[in-house]
């Protein structure tokens, strides 16, 4: 690839990133059901023709934003069992990282939760290409694997309770964490978001509840 091709590729990547940032803001402000391709093109300062060169549908854009954010979250929350003295310590660090991410990047967390709520309840999957859906399912499966493997390891090492199927334990634990992150990202608690000590205490109490539920 020559210098001109590299420059052109950088321009395209920058424009693609700009499109997704504009789309994220619009989806959060107006809701997934209201945003149109023309709205995103206008916000990004490009023509609809140019927008369609990058993305073929509003759903493709929504899934692209969600996928990028989920990868960012997975990278932020990543931790290895080998880095900790126990599975429980690794889980604690992963959950704390999840809370930190939410407090640092509330809009990103709000987007992922709103996306799940809209697309899980909306009868529009016939309008979404099978390739987009398959790519997203593959992404989510890969992202969930480390957490599931961590729980499995905890059961095998007799750190975690063994009376629940791993699928059930995973659903309970991460369902609770998602709900907590949702409230943190949408000011759903009475504690002022300016009261860092109060939020930290709340997060630690929630973390203790989750760990106590699953530990042996």
Which pLDDT tens digit goes with each residue over 102-121? Answer: 999 999 999 999 999 898 87
Which tens digits make up the pLDDT trace of 37-75?
999 999 999 999 999 999 999 999 999 999 999 999 999
Average pLDDT over residues 121-126: 67
Q: 87-104 and 58-77 helices cross at what angle (nearest 10)?
A: 130
Average pLDDT of the chain to the nearest whole number: 88
> What are the structural domains, with CATH classification, of the chain?
1-55 (1.10.10.60), 58-214 (1.10.357.10)
Binned at pLDDT 50, 70 and 90, residue 197 comes out as confident
Phi, psi of 160 (to 5 degrees): -115, 155
The model carries a pTM of 0.87
For residue 209, name the pLDDT band (cuts at 50, 70, 90).
Answer: very high
CA distance 166 to 170: 6
What pLDDT was estimated at residue 10?
A: 67
């Amino acid at each position: 690839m020559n210098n001109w091709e590299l420059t052109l590729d950088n321009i395209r990547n920058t424009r693609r990133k700009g499109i997704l940032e504009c789309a994220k803001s619009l989806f959060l402000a107006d809701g997934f059901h209201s945003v149109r391709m023309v709205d995103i093109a206008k916000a990004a300062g490009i023509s609809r023709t140019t927008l369609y060169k990058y993305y073929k549908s509003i759903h493709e854009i929504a899934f692209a934003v969600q996928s990028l954010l989920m990868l960012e979250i997975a990278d932020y929350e990543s931790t290895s069992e080998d880095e900790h003295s126990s599975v429980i310590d690794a889980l604690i660090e992963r959950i704390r990282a999840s809370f930190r991410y939410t407090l640092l990047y509330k809009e990103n967390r709000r987007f992922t939760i709103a996306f799940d709520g809209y697309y899980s309840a909306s009868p529009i999957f016939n309008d979404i290409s099978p390739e987009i859906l398959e790519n997203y399912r593959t992404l989510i499966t890969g992202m969930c694997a480390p957490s599931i493997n961590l729980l499995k390891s905890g059961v095998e090492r007799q750190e975690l309770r063994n009376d629940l199927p791993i699928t059930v334990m995973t659903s309970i634990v991460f369902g609770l964490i998602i709900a907590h992150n949702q409230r943190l990202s949408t000011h759903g608690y009475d504690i002022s978001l300016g009261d860092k000590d109060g939020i930290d205490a709340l997060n630690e109490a929630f973390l203790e509840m989750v760990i106590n539920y699953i530990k042996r």
